[in-house]
Structure 1
């Protein structure tokens, strides 16, 4: 006699049914063909709402301009959140396939089309089991993860009020389909950006004595920034400063009046990022003065809000891990190393019990170059039912287990410089 199927495995079997799987692929491909960047996800948001309407799921909209927060279950506490980000990147897709992006210069190069589809799949699975949900599952469709802090704005608009815990899934193109990975505690770095303008006095390259050369000042400043890592950082502490662009004159025989450059700084602790921010400002301004120039530095807190470091709640991580092992087998649930990448899911982790899991999308038979933010990113769509089932199973089992405790309602205090 065959062993009974566990509720978690039954969820995955439902998601893999032919009709369900074909629906998932259709949804994902529609989103992929028409990518929209941060806070412009109007068509994506409309597609989500139409699918929710067809399922009879109520939702709040708009939240943070284009965001949607839907509810499945009784409506009473506890509330558990599942999150998917919606925005694309300004990347020209270079993969030739039937459903290639139809919008020039824009592409879902970070898999957010997959994230949205998996969460819609979870919505469908949960809605068919809504009378068994012991509480409420909140489905969070979030705009503007790519550098604009959409999660912060979702919180600011009250879209996640009263949610005690939340799970996020993010594709991992280097990980085989059917595997997931995460880690307890610190997982991703904090991330900030800066743009500096050094102003001097321009002139002809043949008479530098009549100028105040901002290129020399910028060069010393950029070299000085690297010493913040090599000479002011504990070698056992992970920090990064990268200058990604420099703009000056286009003429070889002209000393320009201004130089503009900028980049990113990252750290595994929010406090470390606060220190780097202070020192970046001091180094650039001081080097400008040394070379008889002036400097201004913009950390773009309003336009591209800095992200805190992502620290997974250990109980939430353990819960996701147990469900993943039940769904996929212990061998397919991995502890992954920390990364200097950043994710605005970290804003949620400061407010509630949160865990982000990476989910593999690599088909071993596919030789495509699969990297996040690459124009060649190509996703194995077999991940869609896996992600849908994992979302739904984590939510239902969390609410079934009654793991919500009072202490989870009180999270770490925010670091003010990140949120002003």
Structure 2
């Protein structure tokens, strides 16, 4: 589906592939250049491994079946059910996402709202915001005195927005990005709702969190966003975020161990590249060091005594990236075109690569929880 297979990092990796012979998914890890199926009755799901005391130790020692060279499976067409191919690396985890976690990107959310989803109005509003607050958002921490001063400056300019509260106030915005099992993996198409005319990719780190709240690993995600839909009303967030194939996660989860930890996530730098069918190229970055809320705090605000997730969560941490460069029409900034190839990469996490299409043209999501449970039971794994 994409021009290149996804790249995998070094480290202890956990993922999922589709196995045609089993007519369902299997849990895999990478050993050398080989993919190993470690699915077992003791741990038939990624969720089960993530609930263990030491997921990385289990994955390293688990017996399994050698499926062959990883490159062949990683480059396979994810829309061909007759061919083994990569899936999103999560299964029963709830897919949650944090919004407006970078104060700099918060400004773009304010602009979306003030422009009422009209990209032609955004440039003028962007200039007003820049005049009001300058560079005061760099390194700001949500809930701090400095954050309160920025909020006051924006309100004084008539630019009040609910995004100010979640962007620099004490409470994070956390929403459900996608239903369980609906995420697509690297190599698959990602979908835009056909009503949208102003949209963009959102490159993010995605934490893998056990039901206890313990963070056990991380991977990459594309929180595909419809800027015009959300800009018309924040109450349309569900329509802007949750559509067929609108959530990409992968390529695999890198489990925390002695060589990779949450501190590596805190300093990660994500690179995004969009290659358009007309030859257009967009490059961007998202530096986790500039996040306004610590990842551990975002987990604590999502999962705890106030809200339990028995199968754990995959938590998108938000993005610094908000494209403003014009693609076609001066003053209207960036929007996707059908056929764009989006690559999100970071040292230590590999690369997630997907091609953009309409959600109505992407393969329908049909393999849900009932299908998964039935498949595992038929294979003697439940």
TM-score range normalised by the length of the shorter chain: under 0.3
Which of the pair has more CA radius of gyration?
1
Q: TM-score, normalised by structure 2?
A: 0.26
Which of the two has greater helix per residue? 1
